[in-house]
Chains A and B, each alone.
Chain A
Amino acid sequence: MRVLLVGLSHRTAPLEVRERFAVAEPGPLLQKLVATDEIDEAVLVSTCNRVEVVVLTRRLDAARLRLRSVFRHELGGDDLPASAGGRRLEEMLYELHDAGAMTHVLRVASSIDSMVVGEPQILGQMKDAYHAAREAGACGAILTRLFHCAFATARRVRRETKIAQRPVSVARVAVGLARQIFEDLSQKSVLLVGAGEMIEIALEALHQDGLAAVRVANRTRAHAMELAERFDATAHGLDEIPALLARSDMVLSCIGGDTPVITAALVRTALRERSTPLFVIDIGVPRNVDPAVNDLDGVYLYDLDDLTEAAASNAEERRRETIRAEAIVLEEQQRFDGWLAALGAVPTIRDLKGRAEQIRAAEVEKAVGRLGLDPAQRDGVDALTRAIVNKLLHAPVSRLRGQADREEGFARLEVVRALFGLDDRPTDDDE
């Protein structure tokens, strides 16, 4: 049994190509694949960053051709968009088998291979892919075990490393800082200065934790109202900022203009009317908030550079954590491989025991006829020979069942089959 993986991902193909190959309903395709002679089990993982098919096969070359044909004819095709830069599909597809394929599945589930290392969505997407394959009847015992191993590995990686602990987007960094200042964000109010796209992205991140009140102040009140309607907020003009500052716990600013919209004097005045900290996020370029604001007691100002630097530092930390994550993946992959190798040894063990029993029974029969043994003596000889055969076979059978790595496991099986002539036709002597 061989595990084969064919696919393309953010590492090999641009988004325009990946989205062409995305599969919303993998069931019919998987059923078609397992109906072929060369594929026994199949799972299709389709996310915005990758489209990969994992199969279990007895005929590796045939399965490889079949999967490439699926990508070419049944998914996106070979007619790639201009963004592919003239590259052909063949150049974007990668192929992994056996240990390489298993490791890849475990790495993907653990989010080591993700565009944003440590992102949590991939595990859910892998689970969805696995369940879709199960429902389609395309996922049997071995891929089930592989995917469960992948899920367990991902959980271990999350538990034992810091791969997913630190935020790597500017918006999530800002939320993390807000949590260092405030105990419960759902009780806090935010003042948005500006109504552009950046404000919206940052607000969405803040809104995930819930906010007590959102106020949008903008030069053009109509734009403020547009954003306010979407987030159940109130719209204001820039002239209302002094009053709004006193009533807000967080300020998020990204508005055009050459001079700061929020000055230190303005914040100092607002502080007289409040007793709680004020967190100011200035993502405007040029900056909207006077840097001197950070010197005021109880006010914490972060600009775009501060947030970007923190995000980059966290991303670097995550990358460092992947070394520990890779070690966990390798350990789990070897465990799974050992299980698979042991599974592959079952027919050989059965044949070996059958062969030994056949020889033992034939020799006992001959001896009984030659020596003229009574039933009690015959039982004694029978038990004696059975014990000898069992003891002789104990060590080789244990070795075959052992958690050997895949290559070694296959080599052992070949040697045993050749040494004991398990693939030879029975001769007259055996009869």
Chain B
Amino acid sequence: MTTELLLVAAGLYLAAGLASWMGIALESARSLRAAVVMLAAGAAAHAGAFVGLHLAPRPPPLTDLPAAVSLMALIAVLFVLVLLRRARLAALVALVAPASFVGTFFAALRLPHSEAVPLVGAASSWPHLHILLASTGLALLGVAGVAGCLFLVVDRGLKRHRRVRPRWPSLEALDRVNRVALTAGFLLLTLGVVTGVLWVESESDRIWTGTAHETWSVLAWMVYAALVTARFAGRQRGRRAAVAAIAGFAFLFFAVIGVSLLA
């Protein structure tokens, strides 16, 4: 049932992405509204799958990559749905929905795990908390990157005096999404790193074991610390802030997901 719900969620995310692109291309407000509705329905199915998964007699650990990716996708979608209530940002769905589709579909193919997988929290609650915080941070920073991509598209159109499609979000709204997502995402990432250190310490009595994941995660945190400082102390804004958000997320994604996949 959980896998079916995840597939339904993935399907709805895909449909939301397609409807959103159609709405942008045809300048149809109706298509964009439909995209938002489908995204919300996908989030409901996804949340249902998540609850179902963790009510199962032997739930898979959050520390498992498919579970973490699925959680990230769900949080990114929920964050976008919250943002949509504040500003005309429906075009964000065009990028967030396909990305969430990929994450959810990947999770649907890999979840639930076999019975050989150990239960979550068998050792301590740190792994759970670490994944929850880090995944949420990663999802928010991903949304910041998506907002950065859209910012560059709109900025380029306006600078070159090309016709900007009226359904794109305003630059101001995209910059605000970037700022909010970066702030909250960095805070959660920091807490994720701290809980990660505590997890390592609880299992090995050391705060640093020197694994690739640890090294790359700390590097990514340092990159974001620099970006946040530039943004708020150096009053970085607009195009530069957008490029920084995209580059930062690319690095973070590689550090967390890429390194795990390569390991």
Q: Which positions 145-187 of chain A face chain B at CB distance < 8 Å? A: 162, 165-166, 176-177, 179-183
Which chain A residues border B166 with CB–CB below 8 Å? Answer: 165-166, 176, 179-180
CB-contact partner of B237 in A176, A179, A182, A298, under 8 A? A298
Which chain B residues border A326 with CB–CB below 8 Å? Answer: none
In the complex, what's the smallest C-beta–C-beta distance from B92 to chain A, in angstroms?
14
Is residue A231 within 8 Å, beta carbon to beta carbon, of the partner chain?
no
Q: Which positions 269-321 of chain A face chain B at CB distance < 8 Å? A: 275-277, 294, 297-298, 300, 302, 306, 309-310, 313
| Per-residue A-contact encoding for B9-45, CB less than 8 Å = 1, 0 else | 0000000000000000001000000000000000000
Which chain A residues border B159 with CB–CB below 8 Å? Answer: 294, 300
How far is A277 from B154 in the complex, measured between Cα atoms in Å?
Answer: 13
In the complex, what's the smallest C-beta–C-beta distance from A212 to chain B, in angstroms?
14
The total of chain A residues at the interface (CB under 8 A) is: 22
The answer to whether B235 and A179 touch across the interface, beta carbons within 8 angstroms, is no
CB-contact partner of A298 in B27, B154, B173, B239, under 8 A? B239
How far is A276 from B175 in the complex, measured between Cα atoms in Å?
Answer: 9
The answer to whether B88 and A183 touch across the interface, beta carbons within 8 angstroms, is yes
How far is A284 from B201 in the complex, measured between Cα atoms in Å?
Answer: 68
Known A-B contacts A162-B27, A298-B237, A313-B163; the reply to A182 vs B170 at CB < 8 A is: yes
The answer to whether B164 and A310 touch across the interface, beta carbons within 8 angstroms, is no
In the complex, what's the smallest C-beta–C-beta distance from A367 to chain B, in angstroms?
66
How far is A302 from B235 in the complex, measured between Cα atoms in Å?
Answer: 25
In the complex, what's the smallest C-beta–C-beta distance from A156 to chain B, in angstroms?
14
Is residue B171 within 8 Å, beta carbon to beta carbon, of the partner chain?
yes
Which chain A residues border B240 with CB–CB below 8 Å? Answer: 297
| Per-residue A-contact encoding for B141-156, CB less than 8 Å = 1, 0 else | 0000000000000100
* A residues at B contact (CB < 8 Å): 162, 165-166, 176-177, 179-183, 275-277, 294, 297-298, 300, 302, 306, 309-310, 313
How far is A188 from B235 in the complex, measured between Cα atoms in Å?
Answer: 20
Which chain B residues border A306 with CB–CB below 8 Å? Answer: 161
Q: Taking CB as reference atom, which chain B residue is nearest A307?
A: B161
B-side interface size class? 20 to 34
Is residue B207 within 8 Å, beta carbon to beta carbon, of the partner chain?
no
How far is A310 from B170 in the complex, measured between Cα atoms in Å?
Answer: 18
Known A-B contacts A275-B237, A302-B161; the reply to A181 vs B27 at CB < 8 A is: no
How far is A165 from B163 in the complex, measured between Cα atoms in Å?
Answer: 13
The answer to whether B158 and A180 touch across the interface, beta carbons within 8 angstroms, is yes
Which chain A residues border B88 with CB–CB below 8 Å? Answer: 183
In the complex, what's the smallest C-beta–C-beta distance from B67 to chain A, in angstroms?
36
The answer to whether A277 and B172 touch across the interface, beta carbons within 8 angstroms, is yes
Known A-B contacts A277-B172, A302-B161; the reply to A183 vs B238 at CB < 8 A is: no
How far is A177 from B157 in the complex, measured between Cα atoms in Å?
Answer: 11
In the complex, what's the smallest C-beta–C-beta distance from A177 to chain B, in angstroms?
7
Q: Which positions 159-186 of chain B face chain A at CB distance < 8 Å? A: 159, 161, 163-164, 166, 168, 170-173, 175-176
Which chain A residues border B238 with CB–CB below 8 Å? Answer: 277, 297-298
Known A-B contacts A183-B87, A275-B235; the reply to A310 vs B163 at CB < 8 A is: yes
Q: Taking CB as reference atom, which chain B residue is nearest A300?
A: B158
Q: Taking CB as reference atom, which chain A residue is nearest B174?
A: A183
Q: Taking CB as reference atom, which chain A residue is nearest B29?
A: A165
Which chain A residues border B239 with CB–CB below 8 Å? Answer: 297-298
* B residues at A contact (CB < 8 Å): 27, 87-88, 154, 158-159, 161, 163-164, 166, 168, 170-173, 175-176, 235, 237-240
CB-contact partner of B164 in A180, A182, A309, under 8 A? A180
How far is A177 from B162 in the complex, measured between Cα atoms in Å?
Answer: 11
Which chain B residues border A297 with CB–CB below 8 Å? Answer: 237-240
How far is A294 from B239 in the complex, measured between Cα atoms in Å?
Answer: 13
The answer to whether B163 and A277 touch across the interface, beta carbons within 8 angstroms, is no
Which chain A residues border B235 with CB–CB below 8 Å? Answer: 275
How far is A309 from B170 in the complex, measured between Cα atoms in Å?
Answer: 22
Which of A165, A183, A300: most chain B Cβ within 10 A? A183
How far is A309 from B171 in the complex, measured between Cα atoms in Å?
Answer: 22
Extra A-B contacts (10), CB below 8 Å, given A177-B164, A181-B158, A298-B238: A162-B27, A176-B166, A177-B158, A180-B154, A182-B170, A182-B172, A275-B237, A277-B172, A277-B238, A313-B163
Known A-B contacts A297-B238, A298-B237, A298-B238; the reply to A180 vs B27 at CB < 8 A is: no
How far is A311 from B159 in the complex, measured between Cα atoms in Å?
Answer: 17
The answer to whether B170 and A165 touch across the interface, beta carbons within 8 angstroms, is no
Known A-B contacts A162-B27, A165-B27, A177-B158; the reply to A183 vs B164 at CB < 8 A is: no
Q: Taking CB as reference atom, which chain A residue is nearest B168?
A: A180
How far is A300 from B170 in the complex, measured between Cα atoms in Å?
Answer: 13
How far is A165 from B29 in the complex, measured between Cα atoms in Å?
Answer: 11
In the complex, what's the smallest C-beta–C-beta distance from A165 to chain B, in angstroms?
6
In the complex, what's the smallest C-beta–C-beta distance from A226 to chain B, in angstroms?
32
Which of B87, B161, B175, B240: most chain A Cβ within 10 A? B161
How far is A191 from B235 in the complex, measured between Cα atoms in Å?
Answer: 23
Known A-B contacts A277-B238, A298-B238; the reply to A181 vs B170 at CB < 8 A is: yes
Which chain B residues border A310 with CB–CB below 8 Å? Answer: 161, 163
How far is A275 from B166 in the complex, measured between Cα atoms in Å?
Answer: 24
Which chain A residues border B172 with CB–CB below 8 Å? Answer: 181-183, 276-277
In the complex, what's the smallest C-beta–C-beta distance from B157 to chain A, in angstroms?
8
How far is A383 from B221 in the complex, measured between Cα atoms in Å?
Answer: 95
Which chain A residues border B175 with CB–CB below 8 Å? Answer: 277
Known A-B contacts A165-B166, A277-B238, A297-B239; the reply to A181 vs B171 at CB < 8 A is: yes
Which chain A residues border B171 with CB–CB below 8 Å? Answer: 180-182, 277
Q: Taking CB as reference atom, which chain B residue is nearest A167?
A: B166
Which chain B residues border A181 with CB–CB below 8 Å? Answer: 158, 170-172
In the complex, what's the smallest C-beta–C-beta distance from A116 to chain B, in angstroms?
18
In the complex, what's the smallest C-beta–C-beta distance from A130 to chain B, in angstroms?
29
How far is A298 from B242 in the complex, measured between Cα atoms in Å?
Answer: 12
Q: List 10 A-B contacts (CB under 8 A).
A: A180-B154, A180-B164, A180-B168, A181-B170, A181-B172, A182-B172, A183-B88, A275-B237, A277-B175, A300-B158
Which of A294, A298, A309: most chain B Cβ within 10 A? A298
